[in-house]
Structure 1
């Protein structure tokens, strides 16, 4: 007997034929998707069986499989990996790694009988093909997860590990046989309901009956490394192929979730009550050059004694400095770039390594004013303002007491897993004006995440938005607890511009990007625009057109990144 094997070597995206040693075909691990070891070019590498019972190529002496390692993804996920490789211009092995067990699995556990799981008021959600459900940010998704699990084997995605752990435990207490992915790979392959984050989109689910994606809008469902695949979209495709309902749950549904799907929403009163109070601090009347970050409303919130999280997506001490006397900006005398303050009170160029004393080049003053303070500087200033230790949270880590009443940080502060009474966005305009086409959608998603950790207005939750754009559709949507206000505005804008989901885009970058694009050429219906950084922006009317074109081009050797539907694209 012969088999085809896809090797776990990303640079070699092709299959090879091997013979099966005698007796292996009777092993329960053997079959399509099984993980094996093979000899390739003189060395042993891993791989997956893609086809069983193939004919041997003529005049070729076949090598036998070296080892039958473990149960693997199975035929459904093998087929799905081909679709994903086309959809995100990647290699099948990337996806099969995620779909494979983290440890060797020789056999599956005995299926457990779930105790009766009440479906409650949400059973009708999972009738038909499924739909998008808009739910308030402080509402509990457990009843909806129970409705999914009550149907049989459900696949439930949650954007972060802490909430996934909690949901799996709660489902278990309610009587469901639920496991966390990837540790529960074997149980999932035996029919257990799967709860997990991004990678769980590739969990084995032989008896799949329902799919639920909680907070479908969350960027955590996107892989940061290429291929930049979407866990939400993989889950939706799995449900479509299996013919089972898929429910997308969100407090601020993305346009992708709203398009071509039936949308259900709570009553206006119930939805409004689920959001915290939103206070908008209008700063239009203040002098941009002299106004600081600390409005009277913010100072009052800081001094009221509650737990406060201050969000500022600028790390460091100061990002823009000006002379306190003459107002001259602190710029590099070598290249003209802005300069930052170092820990030892020096000025360092942001573009190069030029360092000079903290002295105004125009008037000689040694006093500088922060026009755009970073997180570190803001923490120091708030500590002086309220005379209380303040903690700092960024993507690099946490500094300060774990129980600090006030925490200043980037949006990482919203991922601490701690409740706060108030979340204050110190300069919300930087989110609204970010040079990304999804900026407003992402800004409202930040508010929704903040709303989850503050709780509803009835529980005293509050969000403070400091802005010079109080009439922006994002601010209005948050103030009225009505995300549809933003969705309508974004839909019209993106339809007019042909941006996702009403068009398709990709970014090609890397050392061999230019060579790849020479091979790519100018296919019909695709616009190609290079930029000075060496990246290439591709636009097409739809993903079929774009992905077919990308798949038709042979990749040159060397590092290449193809980001299909980039979430941070300008």
Structure 2
């Protein structure tokens, strides 16, 4: 066999046969020839490109992951490595029986009349077209009139988008200028990163779709990453309007057959545009010309299990290795991305105005100390009045609370016992509609007990705090005539449900939307004019480094759903701290000033993006083993100028899925490479077999 680098092969490994990739690089001079085994088979699939091989190596090195674990993500559909099976049909026999030798009925003649010389058609399709039974087709074959033949290869399931298809015209000035700059960046066929910002509703999607069109004109492939696949419903409609066809999709909801076809189409260059979740970054594009990361600030782009990576940052690397343009898009960009733009690493384009002349919504803080809800309720009188007025005008309103279920905590009013997950250090969340208590970390679920499991008192368990189901209950009592819809990840389990919900809202079949963070991103509801945030303080608790930044981003995004067309929008933020910098920034609309203040607060301490962080998460089923391993790592911690190790300490989620967890945090100056420090640190400690040490370079969460 002649095997080039990138060829997919089957090889023997112990007593198994495994799929691998021929890699390039220097051979191992110390490997004895006697240990080498023959490759069993080379697979008929386009080879993995050099840029993707370098990307696998880069991600493995950066995240301190085994290269094989990263490679597995790039060949995540093993069935796609086998060529698709060719189907067999029927064609006219080259030497049919002599005329009169076999009686030809009218049905048989109709079948023969449908086939041109050399044409191959499937038996079922042939029978259907001739309006006969399949037995008539088989009878012609038995009589020698038809012979089996391979059907032609099926056309690509993905139609080529038309870059010249007339789409929504871009507004002169901001939109048109930004689109021109992005087209030029793609046409240069060189690596570069552009940050595209703009107020919510300013038409950023239409602008970067113009860059996708230029990528198609260049004959290259484009990848668009979305943080939530539920967002794809309205996004796909915009794509169809712009290009006349749908793009290829990549997400966890696809069937095995569709994943196989999509992976193969991407590898063969037959999927010109693909939109997907973060894992789409590892698909085998032969000529990637553009990567767009929409809502680049979203933490959903961070993979927390297995190979721990941030898809936004890895998208920049993938684009550099492929000599492609990269566009990061957000109305509320992360401080890391803003800093890169300010320091000249990224170009920046900004859209100042909403598309079509719509104005930004007016944002007001409702001080819950002055306007408290009724006892046992969660909506304040000013918010109730605003929703009532909005519904009376025939407009739509939204109540936002970033908390699923009915109540986040259930406790016994007799003894104070709190119902918690047996596998995690987390409270069980009541989902009253499904009559279950559930852990949102490990998935454990159980029916609500009739009596307190601690003291045995019957009927003493009470829900504490609101979730969206409890807000729905309150809204049902306040506005019984309003047609209500809950939008949360457990009520919209996939893209199809999200698309149906969005269509119902657009068709004005819904008056009041009650949702979690799934409603905050990307949706365009033309008749929605009021957004009420039930608990604007929710994300500020917990001491997370990025708590204020994330809260501003989330609430600004959800506020941006209001007043996106001709009717003005209004946003009410229920808060106990209207004087908090986050609330002041949202009311004033001056997010730039808030981000400057956030940067000024982080810079002196060297916190990201002005310093580097890497976390070690130690976990074990045995708590003592976790403590010992964490202690040993703490004793072996690196020392030196610009290097500091915090911990070990119990993780905020000290028990997760039955494993006890301890954390250590490495903090360094920005100019210090953390990977060599981490490798040397880990090499000094013997970790027992039952203990797992997960490395998280550039953590975005600290649970």
TM class by smaller structure: 0.7 to 0.9
Name the CA shift for 1:49/1:353 in 2 (closer, same or farther; >3 Å). Answer: farther
Displacement of 1:319: 4.9
SS at match of 1:233: helix
Aligned to 2:302: 222
Q: Which 10-residue stretch deviates more, 227-236 or 190-199?
A: 190-199
Q: Does 1:212 align with 2:292?
A: yes
| Cα deviation 1:273-324 (Å, max 9, x = unaligned) | 564332321223356995842212221233232433322234444457899x
Aligned to 1:264: 348
| Unaligned ranges ≥5, structure 2 | 85-152, 171-175, 186-190, 251-258, 421-425, 436-446, 502-508, 655-660
The whole-number CA distance in structure 2 between the counterparts of 1:383 and 1:286 is 21
Aligned to 1:293: 378
1:539 to 666, 676, 684: 666
Q: Is the 8 A contact 1:211 1:244 kept in 2?
A: yes
Q: Does 1:62 align with 2:36?
A: yes
Q: Does 1:312 align with 2:401?
A: yes
The whole-number CA distance in structure 2 between the counterparts of 1:293 and 1:130 is 44
2:648 to 509, 530, 534: 530
Name the CA shift for 1:506/1:300 in 2 (closer, same or farther; >3 Å). Answer: same
Q: Does 1:255 align with 2:322?
A: no
Q: Is the 8 A contact 2:55 2:321 kept in 1?
A: no
Aligned to 1:396: 490
1:198 to 278, 296, 304: 278
1:47 to 20, 43, 51: 20
Q: Is the 8 A contact 1:88 1:229 kept in 2?
A: yes
SS at match of 1:378: helix
SS at match of 1:445: helix
Aligned to 2:364: 279
Displacement of 1:78: 1.7
Q: Which 10-residue stretch deviates more, 164-173 or 182-191?
A: 164-173
Aligned to 1:561: 694
Aligned to 2:590: 482
Aligned to 1:510: 619
Aligned to 1:94: 69
TM-score (normalizing by structure 2): 0.64
The whole-number CA distance in structure 2 between the counterparts of 1:416 and 1:257 is 20
Name the CA shift for 1:79/1:444 in 2 (closer, same or farther; >3 Å). Answer: same
| Cα deviation 1:42-84 (Å, max 9, x = unaligned) | 1222322223895783252422223334445322212211221
| Cα deviation 1:206-264 (Å, max 9, x = unaligned) | 43333322211122212242322111111111223344432211100101111122463
Q: How does 1:102-121 map to 2 (within 5 A)?
A: 102=77, 103-104=80-81, 106=83, 115-116=163-164, 120-121=176-177
Name the CA shift for 1:539/1:282 in 2 (closer, same or farther; >3 Å). Answer: same
Q: Does 1:160 align with 2:228?
A: yes
Q: Which 10-residue stretch deviates more, 221-230 or 148-157?
A: 148-157
Displacement of 1:373: 3.0
Displacement of 1:484: 0.9
Q: How does 1:133-532 map to 2 (within 5 A)?
A: 133-140=196-203, 141-151=205-215, 152=218, 153=220, 154-164=222-232, 167=235, 171=239, 174=242, 179-182=247-250, 184-191=262-269, 192-261=272-341, 262=344, 264=348, 266=350, 275-285=360-370, 292-303=377-388, 304-305=390-391, 306-319=395-408, 331-332=416-417, 355-358=456-459, 372-388=465-481, 390-397=484-491, 404-414=510-520, 419=525, 420-456=528-564, 458-503=566-611, 504-511=613-620, 514-515=628-629, 518=632, 521-524=636-639, 525-532=643-650
RMSD value over aligned CA atoms? 4.3
Q: Is the 8 A contact 1:71 1:105 kept in 2?
A: no
Q: Which 10-residue stretch deviates more, 94-103 or 262-271?
A: 262-271
Displacement of 1:531: 1.4
| Cα deviation 1:76-105 (Å, max 9, x = unaligned) | 212211221222232323332332363236
Displacement of 1:339: 11
Please identify the structure whose Cα radius of gyration is greater: 2
Q: Is the 8 A contact 2:161 2:247 kept in 1?
A: no
